[in-house]
Amino acid sequence: MVQIAVMGYGTVGSGVVEVLNTNQASINRRAGDEINIKYVLDLREFPGDPVESKLIHDFETIVNDPEIRIVVEVMGGVEPAYTFTKRCLEAGKSVCTSNKELVARHGAELLEIARERELNYLFEASVGGGIPIIRPLNSSLTADEIIEITGILNGTTNYILSQMTHEGIDFETALKEAQEKGYAERSPEADVEGYDACRKIAILTSLASGCQADYEDIYTEGITKITAEDIKYARKMGRAIKLLATSKKENGRFFAMVAPFLINEMHPLYSVNDVFNAIFAKGNVLGDVMFYGSGAGKLPTASAVVADVVDAAKHLHRNIMTFWSSRKLELTDLSDAKRRFFVRVKGNKKTDAIKMAEIFGPIEVVTAELAGEFGFITGEYTEAEYKERAARTDAVIHMIRVEG
């Protein structure tokens, strides 16, 4: 029997217990042993809950129990999750987590501790909810140099943008629905400002590059400035607005960013709607590959955590994760990235389009039957050049980057 402990009995923690109970027989068969939850750690009481008899409030019980071989850390946040994880690994216990913030910040160190002790620190659920992406990057795409990873990595914002586009509901209502469905982070700011997607692309960039990509270095813009008017223009252009997290290797150097993009219907991520996430990767020999599935929510995320528990149980004395070094990855600057830009400006198409073309160069004008404004798509140039051109007029209402 493999005894495990679950730290955190929130949305994901209770999902882990539910998945282990629902699929007990097949999980045990696949793990080659019986997996038993011995403890559930949480500060709160859960009277009448099936885990009541396993509930503990003191972490020391877990770390000092030699029977516990695997610990599930689904507490979220950096502390005390970091200290608890480190101590569990140092005490000879493998750890499985959904905690992207912790993996993004301290992944290199925790992976190294696990490797030294022939244990595992597994974090499939930290990126893409239920989608297997870490395991493929770790063990399937190993013949390739990964030169691009672009994804819709946040279910909450994808849900909000989809609802705004297809149901015509406003931002606040869509956010509330996402929270009720258990997709959102404790603080919705982490979702809507793009911080959650930023941590996830930092993890994927660290895995792809083998070095520590610091999320503070990644340019991040959320969806809070996206309005119903922007969506009208997008529909008029036959495009969708998606919050993309992207990481590319060009001339031997990595570039990463998170921002809303206008993508056309030929783009592989165009039809990824609602809470779904998708991750598109490009290998230098493989070409393109795409992963698609439920990107958030209690059970999809718990499913990924439990898959890690099965893997950890099958490899109790063997480290199976590729690690990345703590050497800092120097990312290239956003200002050098080249692309087209969609710009909304105050004015009248007939009288002001020529003035805009003088500033922004050749433009494709777009209208969405909105009074006192029009939009256009520029030619391709760098972010620095866009900034310099936009500074020459006070007519700009909003800019959204164009992909494809």
Would you count residue 294 as binding ligand HSE (CB under 6 A)? no
List active site positions: 200
- Judged by CB under 6 A, how many residues of this single chain contact ligand HSE? 11
What's the CA gap between 23 and 39, in Å, rounded? 19
Taking a C-beta distance cutoff of 8 angstroms, is the pair 154, 330 a contact? no
Does 212 engage in binding with ligand HSE (CB under 6 A)?
A: no
Using CB under 6 A as the binding rule, whether residue 156 contacts ligand HSE is answered as: yes
CA angle 133, 82, 311 (to 5 degrees): 40
When asked if residue 183 is in the footprint of ligand HSE (CB under 6 A), the reply is: yes
CA–CA separation, 388 vs 365, rounded Å?
20
* Residue placing its CB nearer to ligand HSE in the complex, 196 or 403: 196
Q: Is 295 in the site for ligand HSE (CB under 6 A)?
A: yes
Angle at 129 between CA 127 and CA 133, to 5 degrees: 50
* Interacting span for ligand HSE (CB under 6 A) from 24-32, 180-188, 241-249, 282-290: 180-188
- 184 counts as binding ligand HSE under rule CB under 6 A: yes
- Distance, in Å, from the CA atom of 42 to the CA atom of 60, rounded to the nearest integer, reads 13
By CB under 6 A, residue 222 contacts ligand HSE: no
Residue 70 and residue 79: Cα distance in Å, rounded? 20
Name which of 14 and 154 has its Cβ closer to ligand HSE: 154
161 binds ligand HSE (CB under 6 A): no
Q: Does residue 191 belong to the site contacting ligand HSE (CB under 6 A)?
A: yes
What backbone phi and psi angles, to 5 degrees, belong to 45? -100, 150
Contact range with ligand HSE by CB under 6 A, out of 35-43, 179-187, 235-243, 278-286: 179-187
Q: Footprint of ligand HSE on residues 96-155 (CB under 6 A)? A: 129, 154-155
CA–CA separation, 276 and 300 (whole Å): 11
Instruction: Report, in Å, the least distance between residue 49 CB and ligand HSE.
Output: 23
In the list 73, 196, 308, 311, the residue contacting ligand HSE (rule: CB under 6 A) is: 196
- What gap in Å lies between CA 366 and CA 375, rounded to an integer? 5
Task: For the CB of residue 191, give the shortest distance to ligand HSE in the complex, in Å.
Answer: 5
Lookup: tokens for 271: 């039809």
A 10 A CB-CB count for 166 gives 12
Q: Is 99 within 8 Å of 77 (Cβ atoms)?
A: yes
Site of interaction with ligand HSE (CB under 6 A): 129, 154-156, 183-185, 191, 196, 295-296
